[in-house]
């Protein structure tokens, strides 16, 4: 699958772009047993759900307003988002 990596920082990522990036991470780090995420549309769309099913990766969703269930992920995402926005500006 060919993915355009020159896409600008945005608040919504296409599911196929997310799947392409996850495939690259699996090649680099190996297949995880579980994928933990919030209920954002880029992580719950059909492309990502199909990706998890086909690769036998269990899914765990963090309920809305419960960031303490995965504080590391929320902190990382916030710092990454701030960095990307600063770089884009």
Q: What is the mean pLDDT of residues 30-50?
A: 83
Look up residue 3 and give its DSSP letter: -
Band of the pLDDT at 55, cuts 50, 70, 90? very high
8 Å CB contact between 33 and 16: no
Angle between helix 46-54 and 15-29 (nearest 10): 30
Band of the pLDDT at 27, cuts 50, 70, 90? very high
Report the predicted TM-score, pTM, of the whole model to 2 decimal places: 0.57
- What span, in angstroms and rounded, lies between the C-alpha atoms of 16 and 3? 8
8 Å CB contact between 73 and 60: no
Q: What is the mean pLDDT of residues 65-86?
A: 74
Q: What is the mean pLDDT of residues 55-79?
A: 78
- What span, in angstroms and rounded, lies between the C-alpha atoms of 66 and 23? 28
Mean of the per-residue pLDDT values of the chain: 77
pLDDT on residue 29: 93
């Amino acid at each position: 699958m060919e993915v355009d990596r020159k896409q600008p920082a945005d608040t919504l990522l296409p599911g196929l772009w997310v799947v392409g990036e996850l495939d690259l991470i699996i090649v680099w780090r190996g297949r995880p047993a579980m994928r933990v995420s919030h209920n954002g549309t880029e992580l719950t769309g059909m492309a990502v759900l199909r990706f998890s099913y086909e690769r036998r990766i269990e899914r765990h969703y963090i309920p809305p307003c419960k960031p303490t269930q995965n504080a590391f992920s929320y902190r990382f995402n916030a710092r990454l988002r701030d960095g990307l926005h600063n770089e884009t500006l």
